[in-house]
Structure 1
């Protein structure tokens, strides 16, 4: 289950997501998208995305579930620019880590569509699962989000993340390899 070891039951997680207008993305969402036999890793942390106006609510609910801040994010850090990430704060309970990504906007989804790779442009909410690039993701293919290349924000941490997903069986492909016209990529 995705919710363990982070919450006692999936209802606890969905209640938190619902109360704060939040979604889960990252490896946990990717595991939900892929068939059960298509991955062999476990999620080491949970990535929860929230709109700016909901972060106080979520922090309070995490404290009720015995989570405390272990790494406080900096507000409006230049590393996040020009993204829509306001801050990232990590909570822990001695066993599990939850990264809270606060969007600069009224939507929790804004940062997800700016990810470095198509492989991680997935999320789930209390009642929905969304995969931005199913034809790529379900074949364990990924493409680089070229906006970070054009804006000169593609960093060494992005390369490390690409290598992580390569070790998980994903193959980086070009637009030509998709069989789609260049304007469709």
Structure 2
């Protein structure tokens, strides 16, 4: 089941899931965002497909990842630093977008030696999931599998969300996620 879900998630971006998992393995990278959420949720709970692929990598492996993406016919579209205002103070060093004329891949480079650091600073628990070359992880399975999410208020600037954060929260609301600023007893589910 999971292998089939992995294939259907990866094939719009690469010829096979094996190509992506080999890249992830070589760079000690992970995929998070909508693609990972799609693997976590049951197939009948996903009437949407990820529009892009978000790959997270440690800074010391980013050049290798960039080279592997270019080897698979992706070229650089743009690069943004984390201080561009879209991302609250976080462990994101840069976000680099690659495209192949059909699909986009965002490479999120961590400031730390771990690709995982930025994932736990996301706007909500709904997307605190990832898959690696050989694993699938969900930080809040009891919430996520019930389409519930707690909002992460740690990244607020001046007690408000950035436009990028608001857009992301609305995207997951449209995918059926109920959000809360506190657990409202949800963590006991």
CA RMSD of aligned residues (A): 1.7
Q: Within 5 Å, which residues of 2 pair with 1:169-180?
A: 169-179=176-186
CA gap of 1:157–1:3, structure 2 versus 1, over 3 A, is same
Q: Within 5 Å, which residues of 2 pair with 1:22-61?
A: 22-61=29-68
Measured against aligned partners, the alpha-carbon deviations of 1:95-154 in whole angstroms (never above 9, x if no partner) come to: 110000000000000000000101010000011110011111000011111212377473
1:149 aligns with 2:153: no
Q: Within 5 Å, which residues of 2 pair with 1:87-106?
A: 87-106=94-113
Q: Secondary structure at the match of 2:166?
A: helix
Name 1:12's counterpart in structure 2.
19
Shift of 1:160: 1.3
Aligned length: 180
> Does the 8 Å CA contact 2:60/2:113 hold for their aligned counterparts?
yes
Q: Which runs of 4+ in 1 moved over 6 A?
A: none
Name 1:77's counterpart in structure 2.
83
> Does the 8 Å CA contact 2:24/2:30 hold for their aligned counterparts?
yes
- Give 5+ residue unaligned stretches, structure 1: none
Q: TM-score, normalised by structure 2?
A: 0.89
Shift of 1:78: 4.9
- Give 5+ residue unaligned stretches, structure 2: 1-7
1:112 aligns with 2:112: no
Shift of 1:68: 0.2
